[in-house]
Structure 1
Amino acid sequence: MSGPVTIGIELGGTKGIAVLARGRDIVERVRVPTTTPAETLGALLEQAARWAAAEAVAAIGLASFGPLRLDPARTGYGRIAATPKPGWADADVRGAFAGLGLPLGFDTDVNGAVLAEARWGAAQGCDTAAYMTVGTGIGVGLMAGGRPLHGLLHPEVGHLRVRRVEGDSFPGICPFHGDCLEGLAAGPAIAARAGAPASELDADHDAWGFVSDALAEAMAILLLTASPQRILIGGGVGAGVPHLLPRVRAATAAKLASYLDEVDAAALDRIIVPPALGDDAGPLGAVALALDAVGLA
């Protein structure tokens, strides 16, 4: 293992992971549950401080669930904006680590993941790519021109309102929008619809038809707007349910209805794929942000 030493912090909706990396190789990791901002950020900061005291750390990367305020010129930079996660609205996630005095790369967890997959994983060679996590929530990171996409905020595809299967009366569970994509297809939404967690549902359970259709709506929207060369689907549901991706691909092909000449069923097998970095896409996304913070990509 060689390369600069960095610290990566991936802050997710159910867990936070701190890693010490040399180059792209993770050499140590610590996992803590996501409870309150004080507890979770405090535990991650404590671990980062121990590593920084013992190693010549070049930079730290912070990849967090959102929505995040990412514009340094705007009020609230570094904080979480309105979020369904109780107690986390306005949490100063960036500020918690700024006191370490290290160069700090900061972005969403999914923007970090798509950057890592483009650098070391299944999106290598792609100029434009997307990473969707389907788990506790649904988030999408978008990379265009080789860089994570920012603007007024950042992509919030999980809260798009998608067309629904005719006759579907499930109200959705998003506290902001009800039946947005996250309210229909995230892990808690599946459990609310089916009465059991996704991991306990048979492959032929009716819920999967609704979930794959909603996700396919998002795939079609992404392909028709951002035109990604690769869409990686990760997360506890996205990567943890083997029969889901084939259903999503088939439903996506039907929704596109042969409109995109180069995006037929065979192409979708290559476009919509699991992350090659697996569960490490998130932590390595934080490492990629740290390397970028000091120009060591």
Structure 2
Amino acid sequence: MYFGAIEAGGTKFVCAVGDKDLQIIDQTTIPTTTPKETMKELFRFFDSYSLVSMGIGSFGPIDVKQGSPTYGHITNTPKKGWTFFNFVGSIKEKYDIPVAWTTDVNAAAYGEWKNGAAKGLENCLYLTVGTGIGGGAIVNGKLLEGFSHPEMGHILLQPHPDDSYEGHCPFHKNCLEGLASGPAIEGRYGKKGIELSGEDQVWEMEAYYIAQALMNYSLILRPDQIILGGGVMKQEQLFPLIRKNFESLLNHYIDTPDLSNYIVSPKLGDRAGITGALNLASEVVETI
């Protein structure tokens, strides 16, 4: 019995096969080019296995609403060539197996909840801060989805008093993604974040914006834990700065768990998404 898993990102696809115990037995990485080229390589990898199901965590926006005419599609993505690509349909046409379908950040949240930092908790939130910013949440043991999936990277923020940067997001400017994503850091300072590791003022401002968002998520969702992943969060000096700003902004209005256990890095690291996709693949078989 083999389960397939895909973590579909705008830059690369991570594809994995897991056994009945959800242990990864094979894995590959495929550059995200055109749908035709990418899916050809994806099928080449999975064709060697007799899969019983597939779990997909995809970049978006995507349609997750069962019964919708475009369920299973990537929708109005800025990724060239992928707009309204029928992802789930292409998998089902090729393999005729059950497919679990959600966002890449939802898959990462699920992975951390099942096997990582949030294991044993009822509620958690996973936020990835990188080229883009997105979030997924587990609420009372279930992925948070409604009319569609959350778009946590686009909540509006108050600009830092010392920040004159207008924002990177073409839709909102002063949203979280517009002010705190990797491209926003580069747009503000003219250098990539990795080149600015020793510049304290860069990370103080970044922490201020992320802490604002975490305060809002905390007030609305009251998670047991917030997990921060993505390329920007590999700057580990951010964590104490975020906790400090979070505490100041919240101003003791609500109680939270101890901040060292509340705002944390992913225990699974870069494997959170593919782990979540594998778990979802195993569970979609159980529900049919």
Structure 1, unmatched stretches of 5+, are none
Quick check: 1:14–1:136 contact (8 Å CA) kept in 2? no
The verdict on how the C-alpha distance between 1:13 and 1:245 changes in structure 2, with shifts beyond 3 A counting, is farther
Aligned residues, how many? 285
Contact 1:41–1:93 (CA under 8 A) maintained in structure 2: no
Q: Distance in 1 between matches of 2:185 and 2:40?
A: 32
Secondary structure, counterpart of 1:74 in structure 2: coil
1:73 to 67, 76, 79: 67
**Alpha-carbon distance change, 83 to 207 in structure 1, aligned in 2, over 3 angstroms:** farther
Q: Distance in 1 between matches of 2:115 and 2:253?
A: 32
In structure 1, the residue matched to 2:261 is 270
2:35 and 2:81 in contact (8 A); partners too: yes
Q: SS where residue 77 of structure 1 aligns?
A: coil
Unaligned runs of 5+ in 2: none
Question: What is the CA RMSD across the aligned residues, in angstroms?
Answer: 1.5
SS of equivalent to 1:51 = coil
C-alpha displacement of 1:111: 0.9
Contact (CA 8 Å) 1:216, 1:251: kept in 2 or not?
Answer: yes
Q: Which structure 2 residues correspond to residues 1-297 of structure 1 after superposition, within 5 A?
A: 4-22=1-19, 23-52=21-50, 57-99=51-93, 100-238=95-233, 240-263=234-257, 267-295=258-286
Describe the SS at the equivalent of 2:231.
helix
Using the TM superposition, give the Cα deviation of residue 205 of structure 1 relative to its aligned residue in structure 2, in angstroms.
4.2
Flag the 1:86–1:182 CA change in 2: closer, same or farther, 3 A: farther
2:59 is matched by which residue type in structure 1? F
Question: Which amino acid in the other structure matches residue 265 of structure 2?
Answer: P
The amino acid of 2:37's aligned partner reads E
* TM-score with structure 1 setting the length: 0.91
TM-score, scaled to structure 2: 0.94
Query: 1:45 offset after TM fit, Å?
Result: 2.7
SS state at 1:50 partner: coil
CA displacement, residues 162-203 of structure 1 (integer Å, 9 cap, x when unaligned): 112124221111122222111111111111112111111133
Q: Deviation at 1:128?
A: 1.0
Which residue identity does 1:289 align to in structure 2?
L
C-alpha separation in 2, matches of 1:63 and 1:46: 19
Cα distance in 2 for partners of 1:176, 1:241 equals 27
Q: What are the superposed Cα offsets for residues 65-111 of structure 1, whole Å, 9 maximum, x if unpaired?
A: 11110012112111122223333221222222112111111111111
